[in-house]
């Protein structure tokens, strides 16, 4: 695959037809600061997510707000930054739309999507989702329900997603995935999908990971 955008992170052992995107454009109001740049055992949460995607994708980008600390960190680590399209409502789907448009430009057939704030996600998450998706979409599911930001989207879904966001709308991400016929992939460990929403959450996860070392 020929990549025409820079700076980017290329990973030789990844899948050449799959691009990865970390969703990190949220406001992190409960955390009180940009949680994507928060440190967990010496590594920012954003980088935990990017490295996991890199094990299954040939190229990884970050969806971030313009001028944010997250954008600066991503660029410093050699990651391409994607901004939401002007006029799209704030939310994860706007980031996915930007990711699908970029994935199409670099010749990928699919986009693997990850939240920036779930550092315990299973190591085989995206490999399993990609296998289940085939040429379509797939989404992780635990006993707590669907995990729509842990998903795989075909690049061919861009027109449908653009239509879903028309006029400033922002339907639930799971509903758009459902409309695409996304395959649900069951994961038994619900704790692996825990999000960092507060500083207390971060402290708890740090203690858990440190204990496991």
Q: Is residue 108 included in any domain, yes or no?
A: yes
Tell me the residue range of the domain where 162 lies. Answer: 9-212
Tell me, what CATH number does 191's domain have? 3.90.550.10
Q: Is residue 205 included in any domain, yes or no?
A: yes
Confidence at residue 27, expressed as pLDDT on a 0 to 100 scale: 78
Concatenated DSSP letters of the chain: -----SS-EE-TTSEEEEEEEEE-----TTTTS-GGG-EETTEEHHHHHHHHHHTTEEEEEEE--TT-HHHHHHHHTT-EEEPPPTTSPSSHHHHHHHHHHHHHHTT-SEEEEEESS-TT--TTHHHHHHHHHTTS-EEEEETTEEEEEEEEEEGGGHHHHHHHTGGG----HHHHHHHTTPEEEE-S-GGGG----SHHHHHHHHHHHHHH-
Specify the range with the lowest mean pLDDT, choosing from 97-106, 122-131, 204-213: 204-213
Q: Is residue 160 included in any domain, yes or no?
A: yes
133-146: pLDDT as tens digits: 999 999 999 999 99
Q: Is residue 3 included in any domain, yes or no?
A: no
pTM of the complete model: 0.89
Give 9's pLDDT tier (boundaries 50, 70, 90): very low
Averaged over 193-199, what is the pLDDT?
Answer: 91
Q: Is residue 2 included in any domain, yes or no?
A: no
Domains: count for the chain: 1
Averaged over 54-58, what is the pLDDT?
Answer: 93
Q: Is residue 135 included in any domain, yes or no?
A: yes
107-130: pLDDT as tens digits: 999 999 999 999 999 999 999 999
């Amino acid at each position: 695959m020929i990549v025409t955008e820079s700076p980017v992170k290329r990973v030789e052992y990844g899948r050449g037809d799959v691009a990865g995107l970390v969703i990190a454009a949220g406001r992190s109001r409960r955390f009180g600061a940009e949680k994507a740049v928060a440190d967990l055992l010496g590594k920012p949460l954003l980088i935990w997510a990017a490295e996991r995607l890199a094990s299954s994708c040939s190229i990884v980008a970050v969806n971030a707000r313009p001028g944010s600390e997250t954008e600066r960190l991503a660029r410093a680590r050699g990651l391409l930054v994607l901004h939401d399209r002007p006029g799209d409502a704030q939310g994860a789907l706007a980031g996915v739309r930007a990711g699908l448009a970029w994935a199409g430009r670099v010749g990928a057939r699919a986009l693997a999507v990850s939240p920036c704030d779930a550092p315990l996600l299973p190591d085989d998450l995206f490999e399993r989702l990609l296998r289940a998706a085939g040429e379509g979409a797939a989404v992780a599911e635990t006993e707590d329900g669907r995990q729509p930001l842990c998903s795989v989207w075909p690049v061919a879904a861009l027109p449908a997603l653009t239509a879903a966001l028309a006029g400033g709308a922002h339907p639930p991400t799971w509903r758009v995935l459902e409309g695409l016929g996304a395959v649900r992939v069951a994961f038994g460990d619900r704790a692996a999908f825990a999000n960092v929403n507060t500083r207390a959450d971060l402290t708890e996860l740090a203690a858990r990971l440190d204990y496991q070392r």
